[in-house]
Amino acid sequence: MVEQFKAISPQLIENESMSRHTTFKIGGDADMFVSVESIDELIALIRLAKEKNVEYTVIGNGSNLLVGDRGIRGLVIEIGQGLAGYEIRGNVIYAEAGILLKKLASVAASESLSGLEEVSGVPGTLGGGIFMNAGAYGGELKDTVTKVTYVDCNGELHTIDASECDFGYRKSVFSSGGKFIVSAELELKKGDRDEIAGKMAEYTKRRREKQPISYPSAGSTFKRPEGYFAGTLIQDAGLKGYRCGGAEVSELHAGFVINCGNATAQDVIDVIEHTKETVLEKFGVELEPEVRFLGDF
């Protein structure tokens, strides 16, 4: 059966460590892994997987994922640099889902287009960003996205307007699965190139100073509880530096669980569970992970 998938995607790899494909640098092997190079290839793989009853998982840059130590069964399809094209028409950018948000924001800035400065430091792809309605510093992707094209679990292509995307805090219509983003249209505003670049530089500076970007992580570990900040609650609970194995609540920013040295997925789970229990006990607030859990734990 593997050969049938390889007939579609010769670049397919068997028993590929997912630690190479997540920003946490954690995860066991995927039975099969492929980074697709076209929408047609993605469609063909999904249709074959359905026909052969093979489990499949679609990911982006792996920047918001924790993959289990026992890996992922079936096929993992990455929408990455093979699907990262873009085109600019006036103040509208059409971009494929695999383009990194940092790259997209840089492209927009070079054309004096404003609207992506806040997400310029989010370490994910456009597709992953839309999936979770990524945001930072008061801006979210829903502010600029006008249309999204996706492939469904039958291998059919659809385009919907932003009004149909059901954007909310760290969620969208895509979050429930079965719809795999392949491209989007974003409407930006004309601005001053230097001002745009200045804002991006300021946000980058803030991240470097306040976030543990030198360690592997999945970004903010928890969603913001209504009326609170997760990092503040965790800090006030005395959990900065709390550690299980190679996973630790960051000393720099308590909202981040980091891989500070050969952490396993179980180490991260243990830190997350202890953090949730402690914050609930001390403050009566239930923290909800922002990180997605994939595979076998």
CA-CA distance, 71 to 4, in Å (whole number)?
Answer: 22
The sign of the torsion formed by the CA atoms of 180, 177, 272, 233 equals positive
Helix or strand (DSSP H, E) at 276:
helix 265-283
Catalytic residue among 35, 172, 220, 250: 220
Q: What are phi and psi of 183, to 5 degrees?
A: -165, 170
Q: Is 170 one of the catalytic residues?
A: yes
Q: Is 290 one of the catalytic residues?
A: yes
Q: Is 220 one of the catalytic residues?
A: yes
CA 248 to chain centre: 21
Catalytic residue among 16, 19, 41, 170: 170
Secondary structure letter of residue 250 according to DSSP = -
**179-187 vs 92-96, strand pairing mode:** antiparallel
CA-CA distance, 20 to 29, in Å (whole number)?
Answer: 10
The answer to whether 259 and 246 are in contact (CB under 8 A) is yes
Q: What are phi and psi of 190, to 5 degrees?
A: -65, 135
Q: One-letter amino acid identity for 49?
A: A
**SS (HEC) of 55-123:** CEEEECCCCCEEECCCCEEEEEEECCHHHCCEEEECCEEEEECCCEHHHHHHHHHHCCEECCCCCCCCC
Closest Cα to residue 69, out of 22, 34, 32?
A: 22
DSSP bridge pairs for 294: 67
- Active centre residues (catalytic): 170, 220, 290
